[in-house]
Amino acid sequence: MPEKPLKPTERATQVPLGADATLGFIGHVETPWKTRADCPKQGRLDGPDCAVVLRSPWDGALQGIERFEMLELYLWFHLARRDLLVIDPSHGGGPRGVFALRSPVRPNPVALSTVRLVAVQGARLIVRGLEAVDGTPLLDIKPGRCPHTPG
Amino acid sequence: MPEKPLKPTERATQVPLGADATLGFIGHVETPWKTRADCPKQGRLDGPDCAVVLRSPWDGALQGIERFEMLELYLWFHLARRDLLVIDPSHGGGPRGVFALRSPVRPNPVALSTVRLVAVQGARLIVRGLEAVDGTPLLDIKPGRCPHTPG
């Protein structure tokens, strides 16, 4: 999918981002949304069932997860461009720095989704509350802490 | 610092983690804690002033950040081992999978700290609420969303 052209008020950097550390994907998510344009802006806890699929050996690190109602999923937004400094959001407010926005476009596109755990099926968790595109890589799962209710 | 030996109930994987994506550090944090043993378990919003130092060109992405009281810092816990599947926490409860714990030891040690923004000084943000070791690399900053109050 081609990137949208920048608005005149927006700014990208030509300085290449370093490669200071590496990430290992531990699985991926399965959702009904096949493109970024299909994805909801924010996940809804009453949204459709989605799956979190763990890759071996990381399915061996799920013991005790069934005790938690809410989970934090750390996802890697692999489709996002990583060079924007200033964004002029279509919802208004004028241009501002990437760090003053929750846009998925970021130098290191790690996204945290708070989801409700519906069921544990071996290496597969059924959850609600996701907004990511189908196939988005998974970096981590943590038990939920914050009573934030998206949607 | 040598790693603590595993307890008999704990389990690590010998399967090497992949290198599926790369991270570029955009800066680092300056804190009073020089080793992991010195760090508080959880940051406190009434804790000491710490600094978030942005590396060029990412100091050009701060415009508008001064409007936010709370920020989410995404940090890379570069000192943490990444191979543990099952941990038996010293605070009790018995062994459980890494994904059922909020331990800093994780396959991809991305940590989110919610901090209070005290001041913006050019490429340097003064914040409170950190618990990371001095020099911890910075991956991202997002405006705060969740009214979570640590400490």
Question: How many other C-beta atoms are found inside a 10 Å radius of the C-beta of residue A88?
Answer: 15
Is the CB of A13 less than 8 angstroms away from the CB of B143?
no
Residue B2's pLDDT is 60
Residue B85's pLDDT is 98
Nearest chain B residue (CA) to A22: B22
Check if A21 contacts B (Cβ < 8 Å): yes
Nearest chain A residue (CA) to B109: A140
- The pLDDT confidence band at residue A91, using thresholds 50, 70 and 90, is confident
Taking the C-alpha atoms of residue B56 and residue B27, their distance in angstroms, rounded to an integer, is 8
State the nearest Cα–Cα gap between A37 and chain B, in angstroms.
22
Check if B125 contacts A (Cβ < 8 Å): no
Taking the C-alpha atoms of residue B64 and residue A128, their distance in angstroms, rounded to an integer, is 33
Residue B91's pLDDT is 86
Is the CB of A60 less than 8 angstroms away from the CB of B22?
no
- Whether residue B4 contacts residue B111, with contact meaning beta carbons closer than 8 Å, is answered with no
Residue B3's pLDDT is 73
Is the CB of B97 less than 8 angstroms away from the CB of A143?
no
- The pLDDT confidence band at residue A41, using thresholds 50, 70 and 90, is confident
Predicted ipTM of the assembly: 0.92
Residue B30's pLDDT is 98
Which of B 62-91 lie inside 8 A of A, CB atoms?
62-65, 67-68, 74, 76, 78, 82, 84-86
* Range with the largest mean pLDDT of A1-5, A89-93, B135-139: B135-139
Cis peptide before B107 (omega within 30 of 0): no
Check if B120 contacts A (Cβ < 8 Å): no
Is the CB of B65 less than 8 angstroms away from the CB of A107?
no
What domains are defined for chain A? 24-143 (2.40.30.70)
* Partner-chain residue, chosen from A61, A84, A146, that has the shortest CB–CB distance to B99: A61
Q: Is B115 helix (H, G, I), strand (E, B) or coil?
A: strand
Structure tokens at B27: 């800066």
Taking the C-alpha atoms of residue B11 and residue B96, their distance in angstroms, rounded to an integer, is 10
Taking the C-alpha atoms of residue B134 and residue A111, their distance in angstroms, rounded to an integer, is 24
Mean pLDDT on B10-18: 95
Q: Identify from B70, B85, B108 which residue to disrupt to test chain A contact, counting A C-beta atoms within 10 A and taking the largest count.
A: B108
Taking the C-alpha atoms of residue A44 and residue A116, their distance in angstroms, rounded to an integer, is 10
Can you list the positions of beta strands (E) in B31-129?
A: 50-54, 70-76, 84-87, 96-97, 110-121, 124-128
Residue B4's pLDDT is 79
Q: Quick check: B148 pLDDT over 50?
A: no
3-state secondary structure B121-141: ECCEEEEECCCCCCCCEEEEE
- The pLDDT confidence band at residue B150, using thresholds 50, 70 and 90, is very low
Nearest chain A residue (CA) to B125: A99
* Partner-chain residue, chosen from B15, B18, B100, that has the shortest CB–CB distance to A68: B100
Q: Quick check: B23 pLDDT over 60?
A: yes
Residues in B touching A64 (Cβ below 8 Å)? 96-97, 100-101
Mean pLDDT on A33-39: 93
Residue A4's pLDDT is 79
pLDDT above 90 as % of chain A: 87
Q: Quick check: B1 pLDDT over 60?
A: no
